[in-house]
Amino acid sequence: MNRIALFILIVLFVTTISCNSSNKKGDKSLVSIQTEFGEIKVKLYDETPQHKQNFIKLVNENFYDDLLFHRIINNFMVQGGDPDSKNAEPGTRLGAGALDYTIPAEFVAKYYHKKGALAAARRGGPSNPEKRSSASQYYIIHGEILTNGKLDSMETVKNSKIKNDLQKEMFQDATNQINKFRENNDQDGFNIFVVALREKVDSIFEADLKFSFTEEQRKIYTTIGGYPSLDGDYTVFGEVVEGLDVLDKIAAVETDDRDRPIKDIKMQVEIVK
In this structure, what CATH number is given to the domain that contains residue 82? 2.40.100.10
Give me the sheet containing 77-80, strands edge to edge: 69-73, 77-80, 138-141, 117-120, 236-242, 38-44, 30-35, 268-272
**Quick check: 1 pLDDT over 80?**
no
pLDDT tens-digit series, residues 8-41: 444 444 444 444 443 444 455 899 999 999 999 9
At 3, the pLDDT band (50, 70, 90 cuts) reads: low
Tens of pLDDT, residue by residue over 83-93, are 999 999 998 99
Looking at every residue in the chain, the average pLDDT score rounds to 91
Query: Does the residue 184 lie in any domain?
Result: yes
Q: Does any domain span residue 16?
A: no
Residue 171 has pLDDT above 80, yes or no: yes
Judge if 140 and 169 occupy the same domain.
no
203-208 mean pLDDT: 93
Same domain, 141 and 154: no
In a domain, 1, yes or no: no
Claim to verify: residue 139 and residue 161 sit in the same structural domain: no
Q: Which domain holds residue 38?
A: 29-145+224-272
> Is residue 23 a part of any domain in this protein?
no
> Is 111 found in the same domain as 98?
yes
Residues 222-271: tens digit of each pLDDT: 999 999 999 989 999 999 999 999 999 999 999 999 999 999 999 999 99
148-173 and 175-183 are packed helices; what angle lies between their axes, rounded to 10 degrees?
60
- Of 11, 76, 18, 93, nearest to 234 by C-alpha is 76
Nearest to 118 by CA among 130, 106, 131, 102: 106
Residues 38 and 125 in one domain: yes
Looking at the structure, tell me whether residues 113 and 197 fall in a common domain.
no
| pTM: predicted TM-score of the whole model, two decimal places | 0.83
Residues 68 and 184 in one domain: no
Residues 120 and 166 in one domain: no
Would residue 2 count as lying in a domain? no
Is residue 160 situated within a structural domain?
A: yes
Number of structural domains found in the chain: 2
Task: Check residue 107 and give its pLDDT.
Answer: 97
The residue type at 114: K
Q: Taking phi first (over 0 means left), then psi (-120 to 50 degrees means alpha), and beta for anything else, what does residue 75 get? A: left
Residue percentage of the chain with pLDDT more than 70? 90
Look at residue 20 and tell me if it is in a domain.
no
Residues 39 and 139 in one domain: yes
Instruction: Place 129 in a pLDDT band, splitting at 50, 70 and 90.
Output: very high
The pLDDT-based confidence of 48 (bands split at 50, 70, 90) is very high
